[in-house]
Amino acid sequence: MAEAKTIETKKYTRMDFVSDQAVRWCPGCGDYAVLSQTQKVFPDLNIDKENIVFISGIGCSSRFPYYMNTFGFHTIHGRATAIASGVKIANPKLSVWVVTGDGDGLSIGGNHTIHLLRRNLDINVLLFNNRIYGLTKGQYSPTSEVGKITKSTPLGSLDRPFNPVALALGADATFVARTIDRETKHLQSMIVRSYKHKGTSFLEIYQNCLIFNDGAFAPMTDKATKADKVLWLENEQPLLFGPEKNKGIRLVGYVPEIIELNGQYSVDDVLVHNEKDYVIASMLANFTYQEEFPDPIGVLYAIDAPVYDDMVEQQVNKAVETRGAGSIQELLNSGDTWDVV
């Protein structure tokens, strides 16, 4: 059936979101792709430009706000989520976007990230994960694999890495998704989904650092391996992957296993993705770093939950409604007073 085409009059074009600042990332950096897809897809969101705020911390990706012709604030290391919280609570009408990285958002700013997620402010977090510290020239990050040889770990890193989507789920995030810098269409669709989610949306973006960690996500982006290594998530669709979509995930009890649809198993045996199911989301999240499983890419989890900034607003309105708008003079004059004549 042919879809009825609606002709929307868009207020903006991509160029409306391009600022006058020269972009200064290394040639070939994955950040370019994310910036350009963002600028491309933003006209589709149809938000008044003056109501958009980009907040970032410190790191390569945190230069992002300078290149978006919206309101922007390039702040300090790790604090973008907390500053964005202040912006959003102060004016819930704004569309607030946080640009952060694996170091900024998960290491120095880890605390603010988890608390933003549990509070569920209506803020969109784009977490650029390149599994390395780029701006400080190549130390391992909290998402680097164990044994990573870097300038600060010449004998190999010892720390186990964070799995950002599992961390977000653990922090009670209401929207958890993952995409890849090179998958431009998917990236765009995930930005749109993030925007549409009411509450904090956590979007991890696999982003290649050409200089210090080239190929970190190669299995998920190389033509030869990608089909086997990426599990594209579609809500209410079976979890299929492989070059011919001939492999699937099924549950045996609560243990996931890979099956081949070769006669013994059919698509009916394959687990169907449900974005509202926390157990499925957790299971999928834990495929990350497991050699035998493909990496889940797409929306892992999306539920509706009360939104913090709305509730703050409601409390203020309720207080005004029940007590009347406060007058400082009345407040000053209240309590036990006496007159000196």
Partner 1 sequence: MSKTLKNIDDVVIRFAGDSGDGMQLTGGRFTEATAIVGNDLSTLPDYPAEIRAPAGSLAGVSAFQIHFSSKNIHTPGDKVDVLVAMNPAALKVHRDELEPGGMLICNSASFTRKNLTFAGYESNPLEDDSLEDSFKVFAIDMSKIVSEACVDMGLPSKTVERTKNFFALGLLFWIYDRPVESTKTWLRKKFAKRPELVEANIRALNAGYNYGETTEIFTTRYQVSKADLPPGKYRNIVGNYALSLGLVAAAEKSKLPLFFGGYPITPASDILHTLSALKHHNVKTFQAEDEIAGMTSIIGAAFTGNLSVTASSGPGIALKGEALGLAVIAELPMVIINVQRGGPSTGLPTKTEQSDLFQALYGRNGEAPIPVIASSTPGDCFYVAYEACRIALKYMTPVLLLTDGYLANGSEPWAIPNIDDLPPIEVKFADTSNLVDGQFMPYRREKKTLARPWAIPGTKGLEHRIGGLEKEDGTGNVSHDPDNHHHMILTRQQKVNNIVQDIPPIEIFGKNNGDLLILSWGGTKGSCRTSAEELQAEGKSVSHVHLRWLNPLPKDLGEILIRFKHVLIPEINLGQLIQVIRADYLIDAIGLNLVRGKPISTGRINEKVNEMLGN
Question: What tokens were used for 81?
Answer: 């989520």
Q: How far is the CB of 225 from partner 1 (least distance, A)?
A: 39
Which residues ranging from 7 to 46 are in contact with partner 1 (CB under 8 A)? 19, 21
Which residue is it, tokens 């449900």? Answer: 274
Give the C-alpha separation, 328 to 340, whole Å: 21
Which residues ranging from 165 to 184 are in contact with partner 1 (CB under 8 A)? none
* DSSP 8-state code for residue 251: E
Number of residues counted as binding partner 1 (CB under 8 A): 61
Instruction: Tell me if residue 77 falls in helix, strand or coil.
Output: coil
| Count of Cβ atoms closer than 10 Å to residue 149 Cβ | 12
Point out which span in 85-93, 132-140, 194-202, 266-274 binds partner 1 (CB under 8 A): 85-93
Q: Provide the residue count of the chain.
A: 341
Which residue, 55 or 165, has its beta carbon nearer to partner 1?
55
Closest by CA to 56, choosing from 34, 38, 79, 39, is 79
* DSSP 8-state code for residue 23: P
65, 134, 294, 298: residue in contact with partner 1 (rule CB under 8 A): 65
Binding flag, residue 149, partner 1 (CB under 8 A): no
Q: How far is the CB of 104 from partner 1 (least distance, A)?
A: 13
DSSP H or E segment with residue 64: helix 64-67
Give first-to-last CA distance, the chain, whole Å: 87
Q: How far is the CB of 67 from partner 1 (least distance, A)?
A: 9
Binding flag, residue 306, partner 1 (CB under 8 A): no
Point out which span in 227-235, 276-284, 299-307, 330-338 binds partner 1 (CB under 8 A): 330-338
Binding flag, residue 311, partner 1 (CB under 8 A): no
Q: Are 96 and 53 in contact (CB under 8 A)?
A: yes
Which residues ranging from 89 to 148 are in contact with partner 1 (CB under 8 A)? 89-91, 93-94, 111-112, 115
Largest CA distance in the chain: 99
Binding flag, residue 87, partner 1 (CB under 8 A): yes
Point out which span in 126-134, 194-202, 298-306, 316-324 binds partner 1 (CB under 8 A): 316-324
Which residue, 217 or 308, has its beta carbon nearer to partner 1?
308
Give the C-alpha separation, 286 to 278, whole Å: 12
According to DSSP, the residues that pair with 128 across neighbouring strands are 101, 205
Q: Are 230 and 243 in contact (CB under 8 A)?
A: no
Q: How far is the CB of 226 from partner 1 (least distance, A)?
A: 36
Which residues contact partner 1 by CB under 8 A?
19, 21, 48-53, 55, 58, 65-66, 68-77, 79, 82-91, 93-94, 111-112, 115, 312, 315-316, 319-320, 322-329, 331-333, 335-341
